[in-house]
Chains A and B, each alone.
Chain A
Amino acid sequence: MNTYKLIISTPDGSVFDDNAEILVVRGTEGELAVMAGHIPFITAVKPGKCKIALSESSEKTATIGGGILTVQNDKTTLLCSDFKWD
Protein backbone atom coordinates (compact mmCIF):
# COMPACT_ATOMS: atom_id res chain seq x y z
CA MET A 1 0.00 0.00 0.00
CA ASN A 2 1.09 3.60 -0.56
CA THR A 3 2.64 5.45 2.32
CA TYR A 4 2.79 9.12 3.18
CA LYS A 5 4.90 11.32 5.43
CA LEU A 6 3.50 11.56 8.92
CA ILE A 7 4.83 13.86 11.61
CA ILE A 8 3.58 13.74 15.18
CA SER A 9 4.76 16.73 17.14
CA THR A 10 4.45 17.57 20.84
CA PRO A 11 5.88 20.51 22.80
CA ASP A 12 8.67 18.18 23.95
CA GLY A 13 9.72 17.35 20.42
CA SER A 14 8.55 15.26 17.54
CA VAL A 15 7.71 11.71 18.58
CA PHE A 16 7.15 10.30 15.12
CA ASP A 17 8.62 11.36 11.80
CA ASP A 18 8.38 8.61 9.25
CA ASN A 19 6.30 7.15 6.46
CA ALA A 20 3.02 5.59 7.46
CA GLU A 21 0.20 3.82 5.68
CA ILE A 22 -2.77 4.61 7.86
CA LEU A 23 -3.39 6.88 10.82
CA VAL A 24 -6.54 6.41 12.87
CA VAL A 25 -7.61 9.08 15.39
CA ARG A 26 -10.80 10.32 16.99
CA GLY A 27 -11.90 13.49 15.23
CA THR A 28 -14.66 15.83 16.37
CA GLU A 29 -17.15 14.03 14.15
CA GLY A 30 -16.07 10.54 15.03
CA GLU A 31 -13.21 8.22 14.25
CA LEU A 32 -11.33 8.85 11.04
CA ALA A 33 -8.50 7.26 9.14
CA VAL A 34 -6.00 9.04 6.93
CA MET A 35 -4.39 7.20 4.03
CA ALA A 36 -2.06 8.32 1.28
CA GLY A 37 -3.66 10.73 -1.18
CA HIS A 38 -6.13 12.22 1.30
CA ILE A 39 -7.46 15.68 0.36
CA PRO A 40 -6.08 18.68 2.30
CA PHE A 41 -7.92 18.58 5.56
CA ILE A 42 -7.83 20.13 9.03
CA THR A 43 -9.65 18.83 12.05
CA ALA A 44 -9.49 18.85 15.81
CA VAL A 45 -8.59 15.58 17.46
CA LYS A 46 -10.18 14.38 20.66
CA PRO A 47 -8.20 12.73 23.46
CA GLY A 48 -8.10 8.97 23.08
CA LYS A 49 -6.37 6.14 21.27
CA CYS A 50 -4.46 6.66 18.08
CA LYS A 51 -3.37 3.92 15.71
CA ILE A 52 -0.57 4.10 13.18
CA ALA A 53 -0.02 1.40 10.59
CA LEU A 54 3.53 1.52 9.28
CA SER A 55 3.02 -1.41 6.92
CA GLU A 56 0.61 -4.28 6.66
CA SER A 57 2.35 -6.23 9.36
CA SER A 58 3.43 -3.56 11.80
CA GLU A 59 1.10 -1.37 13.75
CA LYS A 60 1.59 0.95 16.69
CA THR A 61 -0.91 2.38 19.12
CA ALA A 62 -0.63 5.38 21.39
CA THR A 63 -2.71 7.49 23.73
CA ILE A 64 -3.00 11.14 22.81
CA GLY A 65 -4.25 14.14 24.71
CA GLY A 66 -6.15 15.99 22.01
CA GLY A 67 -4.78 18.22 19.31
CA ILE A 68 -5.02 19.22 15.70
CA LEU A 69 -4.58 17.12 12.58
CA THR A 70 -3.50 18.81 9.36
CA VAL A 71 -3.37 16.90 6.12
CA GLN A 72 -1.43 18.69 3.40
CA ASN A 73 -0.39 17.46 0.01
CA ASP A 74 3.16 16.68 0.97
CA LYS A 75 2.79 15.78 4.62
CA THR A 76 0.42 15.08 7.43
CA THR A 77 0.99 16.65 10.81
CA LEU A 78 -0.59 15.68 14.09
CA LEU A 79 -0.04 18.24 16.79
CA CYS A 80 -0.89 17.09 20.27
CA SER A 81 -0.26 18.36 23.75
CA ASP A 82 0.36 14.87 25.07
CA PHE A 83 1.50 11.67 23.43
CA LYS A 84 2.42 8.28 24.82
CA TRP A 85 3.12 5.00 23.03
CA ASP A 86 1.19 2.06 24.44
Chain B
Amino acid sequence: MSGNTKTLKLRIKSVDSTLHLTKAMGLVASSKMRKANLAMAAGRQYEKAVQNVVDLLTAVPDCQSSPFMREYKDGGKTRLIVIAGDRGLAGGYNANIFRTVRDFNEAEIIPIGKRACERYGKEIVSSEKFYAADAFRLAKELCEQFANGEFDRLGIVSTNYISMMTQTPDIKWVLPLTKSENAQNTAAVFEPDECTILDIAVPEYLSGMIVSCVRESFASEVAARRMAMDSAGKNAQQMIDELQLEYNRARQGAITQEITEIVAGAGN
Protein backbone atom coordinates (compact mmCIF):
# COMPACT_ATOMS: atom_id res chain seq x y z
CA MET B 1 0.00 0.00 0.00
CA SER B 2 2.75 2.45 0.91
CA GLY B 3 4.26 1.93 -2.56
CA ASN B 4 0.96 2.99 -4.12
CA THR B 5 0.68 6.17 -2.03
CA LYS B 6 4.24 7.09 -2.95
CA THR B 7 3.64 6.86 -6.70
CA LEU B 8 0.42 8.82 -6.30
CA LYS B 9 2.24 11.53 -4.39
CA LEU B 10 4.87 11.73 -7.10
CA ARG B 11 2.24 12.03 -9.79
CA ILE B 12 0.45 14.79 -7.91
CA LYS B 13 3.73 16.63 -7.63
CA SER B 14 4.47 16.36 -11.33
CA VAL B 15 0.99 17.49 -12.36
CA ASP B 16 1.32 20.36 -9.90
CA SER B 17 4.51 21.55 -11.56
CA THR B 18 2.73 21.37 -14.94
CA LEU B 19 -0.01 23.51 -13.45
CA HIS B 20 2.56 26.08 -12.37
CA LEU B 21 4.05 26.10 -15.85
CA THR B 22 0.74 26.60 -17.63
CA LYS B 23 -0.20 29.33 -15.17
CA ALA B 24 3.07 31.16 -15.78
CA MET B 25 2.75 30.88 -19.55
CA GLY B 26 -0.85 32.05 -19.37
CA LEU B 27 0.23 35.09 -17.36
CA VAL B 28 3.03 35.93 -19.79
CA ALA B 29 0.55 35.68 -22.65
CA SER B 30 -1.95 37.97 -20.92
CA SER B 31 0.68 40.59 -20.25
CA LYS B 32 1.72 40.54 -23.90
CA MET B 33 -1.90 40.73 -25.01
CA ARG B 34 -2.39 44.46 -24.48
CA LYS B 35 0.73 45.46 -26.38
CA ALA B 36 -0.07 43.02 -29.16
CA ASN B 37 -3.57 44.47 -29.50
CA LEU B 38 -2.26 48.02 -29.75
CA ALA B 39 0.27 47.01 -32.40
CA MET B 40 -2.47 45.21 -34.29
CA ALA B 41 -4.69 48.30 -34.27
CA ALA B 42 -1.82 50.44 -35.55
CA GLY B 43 -1.03 47.96 -38.31
CA ARG B 44 -4.66 47.76 -39.38
CA GLN B 45 -4.94 51.51 -39.56
CA TYR B 46 -1.90 51.79 -41.82
CA GLU B 47 -3.12 48.92 -43.98
CA LYS B 48 -6.46 50.65 -44.43
CA ALA B 49 -4.83 53.93 -45.38
CA VAL B 50 -2.56 52.30 -47.97
CA GLN B 51 -5.45 50.24 -49.27
CA ASN B 52 -7.33 53.49 -49.90
CA VAL B 53 -4.52 54.90 -51.99
CA VAL B 54 -4.15 51.68 -53.97
CA ASP B 55 -7.91 51.57 -54.57
CA LEU B 56 -7.76 55.07 -55.98
CA LEU B 57 -4.85 54.17 -58.22
CA THR B 58 -6.21 50.88 -59.54
CA ALA B 59 -9.40 52.65 -60.62
CA VAL B 60 -7.43 54.90 -62.97
CA PRO B 61 -7.52 53.59 -66.57
CA ASP B 62 -3.83 54.39 -67.20
CA CYS B 63 -2.77 51.98 -64.48
CA GLN B 64 -4.51 48.96 -66.02
CA SER B 65 -1.41 48.15 -68.07
CA SER B 66 0.86 48.13 -65.02
CA PRO B 67 2.73 44.85 -64.45
CA PHE B 68 1.18 44.72 -60.98
CA MET B 69 -2.31 44.46 -62.45
CA ARG B 70 -1.78 41.58 -64.87
CA GLU B 71 -4.37 38.89 -64.36
CA TYR B 72 -3.55 35.60 -62.66
CA LYS B 73 -4.11 32.57 -64.86
CA ASP B 74 -4.45 29.01 -63.60
CA GLY B 75 -1.16 27.18 -63.46
CA GLY B 76 0.88 30.28 -62.72
CA LYS B 77 3.57 30.27 -60.09
CA THR B 78 2.33 30.98 -56.59
CA ARG B 79 4.27 32.40 -53.71
CA LEU B 80 3.02 32.40 -50.17
CA ILE B 81 4.15 34.37 -47.17
CA VAL B 82 3.39 32.07 -44.26
CA ILE B 83 3.11 33.70 -40.86
CA ALA B 84 3.26 31.37 -37.85
CA GLY B 85 4.39 31.76 -34.27
CA ASP B 86 7.84 31.71 -32.70
CA ARG B 87 6.81 29.15 -30.08
CA GLY B 88 4.49 26.23 -29.70
CA LEU B 89 1.98 25.54 -26.93
CA ALA B 90 -0.62 27.81 -28.43
CA GLY B 91 -3.35 25.30 -29.12
CA GLY B 92 -3.97 24.76 -32.81
CA TYR B 93 -2.48 28.09 -33.84
CA ASN B 94 0.53 26.83 -35.82
CA ALA B 95 -1.16 23.64 -37.00
CA ASN B 96 -4.07 25.58 -38.50
CA ILE B 97 -1.70 27.72 -40.54
CA PHE B 98 0.22 24.71 -41.84
CA ARG B 99 -3.03 22.96 -42.73
CA THR B 100 -4.05 25.94 -44.84
CA VAL B 101 -0.71 25.93 -46.63
CA ARG B 102 -1.01 22.23 -47.43
CA ASP B 103 -3.54 23.00 -50.19
CA PHE B 104 -0.79 24.72 -52.18
CA ASN B 105 1.79 22.05 -52.90
CA GLU B 106 3.73 23.82 -55.61
CA ALA B 107 3.81 27.18 -53.93
CA GLU B 108 7.11 28.75 -53.01
CA ILE B 109 7.05 29.65 -49.35
CA ILE B 110 8.45 32.63 -47.50
CA PRO B 111 8.08 31.83 -43.80
CA ILE B 112 7.86 34.36 -40.98
CA GLY B 113 8.02 33.05 -37.42
CA LYS B 114 10.44 30.48 -36.02
CA ARG B 115 8.00 27.58 -36.24
CA ALA B 116 7.31 28.19 -39.92
CA CYS B 117 11.00 28.71 -40.72
CA GLU B 118 11.92 25.42 -39.07
CA ARG B 119 9.17 23.61 -40.90
CA TYR B 120 10.09 24.92 -44.35
CA GLY B 121 13.82 24.83 -43.71
CA LYS B 122 14.50 28.53 -44.21
CA GLU B 123 16.53 31.06 -42.31
CA ILE B 124 14.91 31.96 -38.99
CA VAL B 125 12.80 35.11 -38.99
CA SER B 126 11.04 35.99 -35.76
CA SER B 127 7.39 36.99 -35.90
CA GLU B 128 7.38 38.63 -32.49
CA LYS B 129 10.27 40.94 -33.28
CA PHE B 130 9.35 41.76 -36.84
CA TYR B 131 9.93 45.38 -37.76
CA ALA B 132 8.43 47.58 -40.43
CA ALA B 133 11.87 47.96 -42.03
CA ASP B 134 12.12 44.17 -42.47
CA ALA B 135 8.72 44.16 -44.11
CA PHE B 136 9.66 46.99 -46.44
CA ARG B 137 12.83 45.25 -47.55
CA LEU B 138 10.91 42.06 -48.23
CA ALA B 139 8.13 43.93 -50.03
CA LYS B 140 10.55 45.76 -52.31
CA GLU B 141 12.29 42.55 -53.28
CA LEU B 142 9.00 40.78 -53.95
CA CYS B 143 7.70 43.67 -56.05
CA GLU B 144 10.77 43.62 -58.25
CA GLN B 145 10.51 39.87 -58.72
CA PHE B 146 6.82 40.09 -59.43
CA ALA B 147 7.34 42.82 -62.03
CA ASN B 148 10.01 40.64 -63.67
CA GLY B 149 7.53 37.79 -63.88
CA GLU B 150 9.35 35.45 -61.48
CA PHE B 151 6.02 34.51 -59.93
CA ASP B 152 2.40 35.18 -60.83
CA ARG B 153 0.56 35.64 -57.59
CA LEU B 154 1.36 36.35 -53.99
CA GLY B 155 -0.69 35.39 -50.98
CA ILE B 156 -0.28 35.93 -47.27
CA VAL B 157 -1.30 33.06 -45.00
CA SER B 158 -2.00 34.47 -41.59
CA THR B 159 -4.44 34.24 -38.72
CA ASN B 160 -7.40 36.58 -38.43
CA TYR B 161 -7.99 37.82 -34.94
CA ILE B 162 -11.74 37.79 -34.41
CA SER B 163 -11.90 37.84 -30.63
CA MET B 164 -10.05 36.56 -27.59
CA MET B 165 -11.75 33.21 -28.13
CA THR B 166 -11.71 32.84 -31.91
CA GLN B 167 -8.93 33.13 -34.42
CA THR B 168 -9.15 31.71 -37.94
CA PRO B 169 -6.44 31.01 -40.51
CA ASP B 170 -6.89 32.86 -43.78
CA ILE B 171 -5.23 33.55 -47.14
CA LYS B 172 -5.17 37.06 -48.52
CA TRP B 173 -4.17 37.43 -52.16
CA VAL B 174 -2.24 40.65 -52.45
CA LEU B 175 -0.63 40.49 -55.88
CA PRO B 176 -1.67 40.99 -58.62
CA LEU B 177 -3.71 43.98 -57.57
CA THR B 178 -7.40 43.82 -58.28
CA LYS B 179 -9.63 46.69 -59.10
CA SER B 180 -11.73 47.37 -56.06
CA GLU B 181 -15.49 47.38 -56.55
CA ASN B 182 -16.18 50.48 -54.54
CA ALA B 183 -13.52 52.60 -56.17
CA GLN B 184 -14.81 55.88 -57.46
CA ASN B 185 -13.10 57.94 -60.08
CA THR B 186 -11.44 60.85 -58.44
CA ALA B 187 -10.55 64.11 -59.95
CA ALA B 188 -7.29 64.07 -58.03
CA VAL B 189 -4.11 65.38 -59.59
CA PHE B 190 -1.29 62.86 -59.77
CA GLU B 191 2.26 64.03 -59.71
CA PRO B 192 4.26 63.08 -61.75
CA ASP B 193 1.80 60.49 -63.16
CA GLU B 194 -0.40 57.60 -62.05
CA CYS B 195 1.92 54.77 -63.08
CA THR B 196 4.96 56.16 -61.29
CA ILE B 197 2.96 56.60 -58.13
CA LEU B 198 1.55 53.10 -58.45
CA ASP B 199 5.09 51.71 -58.74
CA ILE B 200 6.01 53.50 -55.52
CA ALA B 201 2.74 52.72 -53.77
CA VAL B 202 2.84 48.96 -54.37
CA PRO B 203 5.86 48.23 -52.13
CA GLU B 204 4.33 50.48 -49.46
CA TYR B 205 1.05 48.63 -49.82
CA LEU B 206 2.70 45.25 -49.65
CA SER B 207 4.81 46.11 -46.63
CA GLY B 208 1.73 47.57 -44.93
CA MET B 209 -0.14 44.33 -45.58
CA ILE B 210 2.74 42.20 -44.30
CA VAL B 211 3.19 44.24 -41.14
CA SER B 212 -0.50 44.29 -40.41
CA CYS B 213 -0.81 40.53 -40.96
CA VAL B 214 2.21 39.80 -38.76
CA ARG B 215 0.81 41.98 -35.97
CA GLU B 216 -2.62 40.42 -36.24
CA SER B 217 -1.13 36.93 -36.25
CA PHE B 218 0.93 37.71 -33.18
CA ALA B 219 -2.12 38.97 -31.32
CA SER B 220 -3.90 35.77 -32.36
CA GLU B 221 -0.98 33.67 -31.20
CA VAL B 222 -0.95 35.30 -27.78
CA ALA B 223 -4.72 34.95 -27.45
CA ALA B 224 -4.59 31.33 -28.58
CA ARG B 225 -1.84 30.61 -26.08
CA ARG B 226 -3.79 32.18 -23.27
CA MET B 227 -6.83 30.11 -24.08
CA ALA B 228 -4.75 26.94 -24.42
CA MET B 229 -2.97 27.57 -21.14
CA ASP B 230 -6.26 28.33 -19.40
CA SER B 231 -7.77 25.03 -20.40
CA ALA B 232 -4.53 23.14 -19.75
CA GLY B 233 -4.46 24.66 -16.26
CA LYS B 234 -8.07 23.62 -15.72
CA ASN B 235 -7.31 20.07 -16.81
CA ALA B 236 -4.26 19.90 -14.56
CA GLN B 237 -6.30 21.09 -11.59
CA GLN B 238 -8.95 18.48 -12.31
CA MET B 239 -6.31 15.78 -12.54
CA ILE B 240 -4.77 16.86 -9.24
CA ASP B 241 -8.19 16.70 -7.58
CA GLU B 242 -8.76 13.18 -8.85
CA LEU B 243 -5.29 12.02 -7.83
CA GLN B 244 -5.67 13.62 -4.43
CA LEU B 245 -8.89 11.72 -3.87
CA GLU B 246 -7.24 8.48 -4.88
CA TYR B 247 -4.27 9.23 -2.65
CA ASN B 248 -6.49 9.92 0.36
CA ARG B 249 -8.35 6.70 -0.25
CA ALA B 250 -5.11 4.73 -0.48
CA ARG B 251 -3.79 6.36 2.67
CA GLN B 252 -6.98 5.63 4.56
CA GLY B 253 -6.88 2.05 3.25
CA ALA B 254 -3.34 1.60 4.50
CA ILE B 255 -4.25 2.88 7.98
CA THR B 256 -7.30 0.63 8.18
CA GLN B 257 -5.24 -2.34 7.16
CA GLU B 258 -2.57 -1.56 9.72
CA ILE B 259 -5.18 -1.32 12.50
CA THR B 260 -6.73 -4.58 11.37
CA GLU B 261 -3.32 -6.20 11.50
CA ILE B 262 -2.57 -4.85 14.99
CA VAL B 263 -5.97 -5.91 16.31
CA ALA B 264 -5.55 -9.34 14.76
CA GLY B 265 -2.09 -9.62 16.31
CA ALA B 266 -3.35 -8.56 19.75
CA GLY B 267 -6.19 -11.08 19.60
CA ASN B 268 -3.77 -13.97 19.48
CB proximity to A under 8 Å, residues B33-53: 38-39, 41-43, 45-46, 49-50, 52-53
Cβ contact within 8 Å between B190 and A42? yes
The docked-state distance in angstroms from the alpha carbon of A72 to that of B186 is 10
Cβ contact within 8 Å between A44 and B196? yes
Cβ contact within 8 Å between B192 and A81? no
Cβ contact within 8 Å between A77 and B49? yes
Q: How far apart are A62's CB and chain B's nearest CB, in angstroms? A: 16
Q: How far apart are B179's CB and chain A's nearest CB, in angstroms? A: 17
Cβ contact within 8 Å between B201 and A68? yes
CB proximity to A under 8 Å, residues B84-106: none
Does any Cβ of B come within 8 Å of A19's Cβ? no
Contacts known (A10-B132, A11-B43); A81 close to B204, Cβ less than 8 A: yes
CB proximity to A under 8 Å, residues B157-192: 186-192
Does any Cβ of A come within 8 Å of B22's Cβ? no
Does any Cβ of B come within 8 Å of A1's Cβ? no
Residues 1-21 of A, flagged 1 when their CB comes within 8 A of B and 0 if not, give 000000101111110000000
How many chain A residues touch the partner (CB < 8 A)?
A: 26
Contacts of B190 in A (CB 8 A): 41-43
Contact of B49 among A9, A39, A81 (CB under 8 A): A9
Contacts known (A29-B192, A81-B207); A9 close to B132, Cβ less than 8 A: no
State which size class the interface on B falls in. 20 to 34
Does any Cβ of B come within 8 Å of A57's Cβ? no
Contacts known (A11-B135, A28-B196, A44-B197); A70 close to B53, Cβ less than 8 A: yes
Cβ contact within 8 Å between A40 and B207? no
The docked-state distance in angstroms from the alpha carbon of A25 to that of B53 is 18
Cβ contact within 8 Å between B39 and A44? no
Cβ contact within 8 Å between B197 and A81? no
- Count of CB-CB pairs between chains A and B under 8 Å: 90
Cβ contact within 8 Å between B189 and A13? no
The docked-state distance in angstroms from the alpha carbon of A68 to that of B189 is 13
The docked-state distance in angstroms from the alpha carbon of A18 to that of B56 is 24
**By CB atoms of chain B within 10 A, which of A68, A72, A77 has the most?**
A68
Does any Cβ of B come within 8 Å of A79's Cβ? yes
Contacts of A39 in B (CB 8 A): 188-189
Does any Cβ of B come within 8 Å of A82's Cβ? yes
Contact of B132 among A7, A27, A81 (CB under 8 A): A81
Contacts of B146 in A (CB 8 A): none
Cβ contact within 8 Å between B50 and A42? no
Contacts of B49 in A (CB 8 A): 7, 9, 77, 79
Contacts of A68 in B (CB 8 A): 50, 53, 197, 200-201, 204
Does any Cβ of A come within 8 Å of B212's Cβ? yes
User: Closest 5 interchain pairs by CB?
Assistant: A13-B42, A11-B132, A40-B188, A11-B211, A43-B191
Chain B interface residues (CB < 8 Å from chain A): 38-39, 41-43, 45-46, 49-50, 52-53, 56-57, 132-133, 135-136, 186-192, 196-197, 200-201, 204, 207-208, 211-212
Q: With contacts A13-B39, A42-B190 known, what are 8 further pairs, Cβ within 8 A?
A: A11-B211, A13-B45, A14-B46, A28-B192, A41-B191, A42-B53, A67-B204, A79-B204
